[in-house]
């Protein structure tokens, strides 16, 4: 980015503008758009025209108004001050003309890539059509770097000489490498959230890297069930019980301490309106659901965090979206912020942990907030990300 001459050039930039919209199709949280601004501004300052491409949501079959990137043009204009030229399609004559006619000072925003099923299939012809729109390819979408889609990976082969990472991507890789390559010990990974499926492999992998693994959220009940505990109607993934047991066993044979909750805040419904109780984690009565970690668990987890030098957090400790069940995530976020102020390096990733840390107003008190969820987990698993490989090769 620093040494590239963008004068008179069209820079085709894969950004991650997969932002939440409300019913009126207004952008509710523009964090991802802001994160892409340094790259966009650099191209403009250096005399180039940014051609932006992204996906938005999960359209099932072609165009759907609620997934149109047209919805974000006014926000993009407000944040950049530039005139936005919106192309109603991301390939073909419409896109070509929009790019050809664009002038310095303008930004071209292409329509949602995923209106074409070829995007997710990594179709070569589609990638070639995208590549025709730019002279230079920049990947600045860390959130989709673990997918070998046309715009994140395949398109790069049509820019053998002039492909690069954008500033956001560079920052993500730099911060993640701080955790993976030369972390200061003790290292603590905190994993929570509802789904255990996508995270269990990461836990195994993390055992080679970290000193402590803290488990919270809906996924913790699968571990408790595996140990023979009563978990009532709490979330459980029966298919992962064996793996959970395997992890518990492995932890005993390695130097890693696996921390499971000792108590839980329970409720009879998935609701903020009903009475709550705190019970031992392995004694949740039938008809009750565990929806947050309890006060005893919080105390234990706070201590581990306070004594860590490197902390990675992915996934909330409870259903933090409801005030009755936000305490665990809030306490963890506060403990991470306190450890950071004493010199620890902390990295938060995954959509929900990021929402949680924003909700508690602590995002600026941790070392780095990653835009990656799945990409972050795969990177931590030690997998190479196709979007990163495509540029590095
Ligand atoms: P994930 O997408 O797997 O990271 O899960 C994030 C979601 O997990 C958040 O929306 C939380 O509300 C939810 N969550 C956290 N703890 C629990 C729990 N104990 N039971 C059900 N859902 C939970």
Mean pLDDT of 170-193: 93
Q: Which helix (H) or strand (E) holds 13?
A: strand 10-14
Query: Is 374 labeled as catalytic in the residue annotation?
Result: yes
pLDDT tens digits, 304-328:
999 999 999 999 999 999 999 999 9
Which one, of 146, 114, 129, lies nearest residue 51 by Cα? 129
φ/ψ of 31, rounded to 5, equals -50, -45
Which fold is adopted by the domain 10-169? Rossmann fold (3.40.50)
Residue-level pLDDT at 300: 98
pLDDT (tens digit per residue) in 322-360: 999 999 999 999 999 999 999 999 999 887 888 899 999
350 touches ligand 1 (CB under 6 Å): yes
CA 98 to ligand 1 center in whole angstroms: 42
Q: What's the confidence (pLDDT) of residue 373?
A: 85
CATH superfamily of 183-380: Phosphoglycerate kinase, N-terminal domain (3.40.50.1260)
Q: Which residue has the tokens 């581990």?
A: 304
Instruction: Tell me the per-residue pLDDT of 150-162, one tens digit each, with 9 for 90 and over.
Output: 999 999 999 988 9
Query: Which residue in 128, 195, 204, 250 is the catalytic one?
Result: 195
Burial-class residue 28 by CB neighbours within 10 Å (0-12, 13-18, 19+): exposed
How does pLDDT run across 255-308, given as a tens digit for each residue?
899 999 999 999 999 999 999 999 999 999 999 999 999 999 999 999 999 999
Are both 10-169 and 183-380 of the same fold? yes
pLDDT tens digits, one per residue of 189-239: 999 999 888 788 889 888 988 999 999 999 999 999 999 999 999 999 999
For the chain, counts of helices (H) and of strands (E) = 14, 17
Asked if 281 and 227 touch (Cβ cutoff 8 Å), the reply is: no
Q: Could you tell me the residue ranges of all domains in the chain?
A: 10-169, 183-380
Q: Apex CA 349: angle with CA 344 and CA 355, to 5°?
A: 110
Q: What is the pLDDT of residues 110-159, one digit of tens each?
A: 999 999 999 999 999 999 999 999 999 999 999 999 999 999 999 999 99
Residue 371's pLDDT band (cuts 50, 70, 90): confident
315 close to ligand 1 (CB < 6 Angstrom): yes
Take atom 21 of ligand 1 and give the residue whose Cα is closest. 218
What confidence score (pLDDT) does residue 268 get?
98
Alpha-carbon dihedral sign for residues 127, 129, 130, 136: positive
The finding on whether 321 has its CB within 6 A of some atom of ligand 1 is yes
């Amino acid at each position: 980015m620093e040494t590239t001459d963008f004068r008179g050039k069209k820079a085709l930039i894969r950004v991650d503008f997969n932002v939440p919209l409300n019913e009126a199709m207004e952008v509710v949280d523009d964090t991802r758009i802001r994160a892409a601004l340094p790259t966009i501004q650099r191209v403009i300052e250096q005399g180039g025209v940014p051609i932006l491409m992204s996906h938005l949501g999960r359209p099932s079959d072609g165009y759907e108004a609620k997934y149109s990137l047209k919805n974000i043009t006014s926000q993009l204009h407000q944040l950049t001050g530039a005139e936005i030229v919106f192309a109603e399609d991301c390939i073909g004559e419409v896109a070509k003309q929009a790019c050809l006619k664009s002038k310095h000072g303008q930004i071209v925003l292409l329509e949602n890539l995923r209106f074409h099923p070829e995007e997710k299939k990594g179709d070569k012809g589609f990638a070639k059509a995208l590549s025709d729109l730019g002279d230079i390819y920049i990947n600045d979408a860390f959130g989709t770097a673990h997918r070998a889609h046309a715009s994140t990976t395949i398109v790069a082969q049509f820019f053998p000489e002039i492909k690069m990472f954008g500033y956001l991507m560079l920052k993500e890789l730099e911060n993640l490498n701080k955790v993976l390559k030369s972390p200061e010990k003790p290292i603590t990974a905190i994993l929570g959230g509802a789904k255990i499926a996508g995270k269990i492999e990461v836990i195994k992998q993390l055992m080679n890297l970290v000193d402590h693994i803290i488990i919270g959220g809906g996924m913790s009940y699968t571990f408790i069930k595996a140990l023979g505990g009563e978990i009532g109607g709490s979330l459980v993934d029966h298919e992962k019980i064996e793996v959970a047991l395997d992890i518990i066993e492995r932890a005993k044979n390695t130097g890693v301490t696996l921390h499971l909750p000792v108590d839980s805040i329970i409720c009879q419904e998935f609701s903020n309106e009903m009475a709550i109780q705190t019970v031992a984690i392995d004694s949740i009565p039938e008809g009750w659901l565990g929806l947050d970690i309890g006060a005893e668990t919080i105390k234990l987890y706070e201590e581990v965090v306070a004594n860590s030098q490197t902390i990675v957090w992915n996934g909330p400790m409870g259903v933090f979206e409801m005030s009755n069940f936000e305490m665990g995530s809030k306490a963890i976020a506060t403990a991470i912020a306190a450890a950071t102020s004493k010199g620890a390096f902390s990295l938060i990733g995954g959509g929900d942990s990021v929402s949680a840390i924003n909700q508690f107003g602590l995002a600026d008190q941790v070392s780095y907030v990653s835009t990656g969820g799945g990409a972050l987990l795969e990177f931590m698993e030690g997998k190479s990300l196709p979007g990163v490989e495509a540029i590095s090769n």
